[in-house]
Amino acid sequence: MHTDESKTRVTILTSSYRIKGNIDLLPGARLTDFIIESKSFVAVTDAEVWELAIGGRQILSAAFIDVSKDHIQIVMPG
C-alpha cells in the first residue's frame, strides 16, 4: 500500500494534451529515473486531462489513467 508521501504531483505534456496528476515516486527518487525505468505506460492517479492549447478546456478527470511513454514529450514535477 502506498502512502501520500510516495505520491508526487506531475504535469505531463503530449503532442495534444496536458495531463496533471500523481505518480507513485519514493521520496528522494528522481523523476527522470522513474520515467526511464517505467515499462510502456506510466500510471497517473487523480488525473486531469486538458487540451494543450492556451486556455484549453478540461477533457476528463479520472481516478486512474495509464499514459503511454511513447506519447510523453515533457514531464515535470508540480
pLDDT at site 3? 55
Q: 20-73, pLDDT tens digit by residue?
A: 999 998 888 899 899 888 899 999 999 999 999 989 999 999 999 999 999 999
Rounded distance between C-alpha atoms, residue 57 and residue 36, angstroms: 30
pTM as predicted: 0.88
Q: What does the domain layout of the chain look like in residue ranges?
A: 4-77
pLDDT of residue 28: 84
CATH entry 2.30.30.100 includes domain 4-77: yes
pLDDT at residue 2, rounded to an integer: 52
